[in-house]
Structure 1
Amino acid sequence: MIMMTVLCIILGYLLGSIPFALVIGKLFYKTDIRQYGSGNLGGTNAGRVLGKKAGISVIVLDVLKVVLAAGLASLVSEPAAIWTSLACCIGHCYPIFAHFKGGKAVTTMFGFLISTSIFIFQEFSYFLVPLFMFLIILYLFKYVSLGSICASVCSSLYITAQLLSLDVNNLFIILASWLMTLLVIYRHNANIKRIQEGTENKVSWL
């Protein structure tokens, strides 16, 4: 069981490392988006540089790669599923296929939330509550970064409130959730500084 879990985590990292923003940019637009905008390999930068259609395509594919990884890992165990989801998000941020320079875990975070809702909780409130928070913040401030941070914190607080107990599996889920939140916050460190300085880019293509 432990070996299978480790293999799932490795698979999750490799799937997360697939840089769909780079693939779509080069394949369909002959553009390396790492040289434009924020330089990140995420849906927000793809939308900003390549347009709405490309941005949405990258977002969908980045979400689906986490769901696929978690779905396969769920055949092993629930802990395997959530740790594989986290590994996929880490792969997205630090992709082995793109010199370890990837996205900021925005879309993969939602892939993480969808995956846990489907394969662990079987309850979509775990996805809808942070999504609602994200949309409110995005509508009010037009900052994807701020919306993502608030959504990730909201998700971890919600999961903690629902699952807090001495059950080992629940504690693993809570721990993985907070690690996901810390990853999102860390990856948005520069964005936080720009928000404070009033220089953060606002979404204009949504």
Structure 2
Amino acid sequence: MTLLIVGATVMAYLLGSIPTAVWYGRAFFNLDIRQHGSGNAGATNTFRVLGKRAGTIVLLVDALKGYAAASLAFFVNTIYPLSDNELLSYQLLFGFLAVIGHLYPLFAQFRGGKGVATLLGMVLAIRPDVAAVCIGIWLVVVIASQFVSLGSLLAALAFPVLLLLRVFGQPENPMLIGFGFLIFLIVAITHKKNIGRLIQGNENRTILIKLKKK
């Protein structure tokens, strides 16, 4: 059992360490995305620098990393049956390690992205219903304000708040609620420069959908 958990732990971090934006930029554009735009190796900077197609691909792959890492808990469960709490604990552990891998990727000199897409993938694996609502909140905020950072912050905060308020009509696991607030804290820390720019009124804008003016 111990060897299996250690192996899954390492695998979760390595999954997160796949530097999608860096590898995609080098393979198809012969550039290091970290040397352009905001210097961030994530989907938003890829979207701005390399275009919608590249940004979308990076977003999906980065989310898949978190989803796959959290799903390693189900693999463990097939070999060693786990209780519901144990299963959730391993989902959170493996998903969190994937996020750490994305922030500090072994395969890219430990210079990664901000982890939002990987967090999203992790949450989709654990609570897809709540994650879907958070995605909706993100879309509305980003389309209305054109600030991806603001959308990410509010969507991250919405996750634990929705659980705490029992919006889905059932008592939620306190561990998941607590972890949800930890997720928000991580997003806030990785977006501290963005928060400063939002307050100062000079945050970068990203247009997802061009609204037609009447």
TM-score category (smaller protein): 0.7 to 0.9
Per-residue deviation, 1:8:
2.4
Q: Which residue of 1 aligns with 2:59?
A: 59
- Structure 1 outlier segments of 4+, above 6 Å: none
Q: Aligned to 1:173, which of 173, 176, 180?
A: 176
Whether the 8 Å CA contact 1:9–1:80 is kept in 2: the answer is: no
Map 1:185-196 onto structure 2 (within 5 A).
185-196=188-199
Residue deviations 1:45-82 (CA, integer Å, cap 9, x gap): 01111111110110011011111111222232331112
Inter-partner Cα distance in structure 1 for 2:192 and 2:156: 14
Is 1:73 matched with 2:77? no
Per-residue deviation, 1:5:
3.6
Inter-partner Cα distance in structure 2 for 1:182 and 1:164: 23
Q: Which residue of 2 aligns with 1:154?
A: 158
Identity of aligned residues (%): 37
Per-residue deviation, 1:18:
0.7
Residue deviations 1:130-178 (CA, integer Å, cap 9, x gap): 112111211221111110010000001122334767xxxx233223222
Map 1:122-161 onto structure 2 (within 5 A).
124-161=128-165
Unmatched 5+ stretches in structure 1: 118-123
Q: TM-score, normalised by structure 1?
A: 0.87
Q: What is the CA RMSD across the aligned residues, in angstroms?
A: 1.8
Inter-partner Cα distance in structure 1 for 2:208 and 2:23: 20
Q: How many residues align?
A: 196
Q: Which residue of 2 aligns with 1:46?
A: 46
Letter of the 2:94 partner, please give it.
T
Per-residue deviation, 1:205:
5.6
Per-residue deviation, 1:3:
5.1
Inter-partner Cα distance in structure 2 for 1:80 and 1:109: 15
Residue deviations 1:97-142 (CA, integer Å, cap 9, x gap): 222221112211211221112xxxxxx3211221121112112211
Whether the 8 Å CA contact 1:33–1:46 is kept in 2: the answer is: yes
Per-residue deviation, 1:93:
1.3
Pair member with larger Rg: 2
Whether the 8 Å CA contact 2:114–2:190 is kept in 1: the answer is: yes
Per-residue deviation, 1:32:
0.7
Of the structure 1 ranges 86-95 and 173-182, higher mean CA displacement relative to structure 2 is found in 173-182
Q: TM-score, normalised by structure 2?
A: 0.84
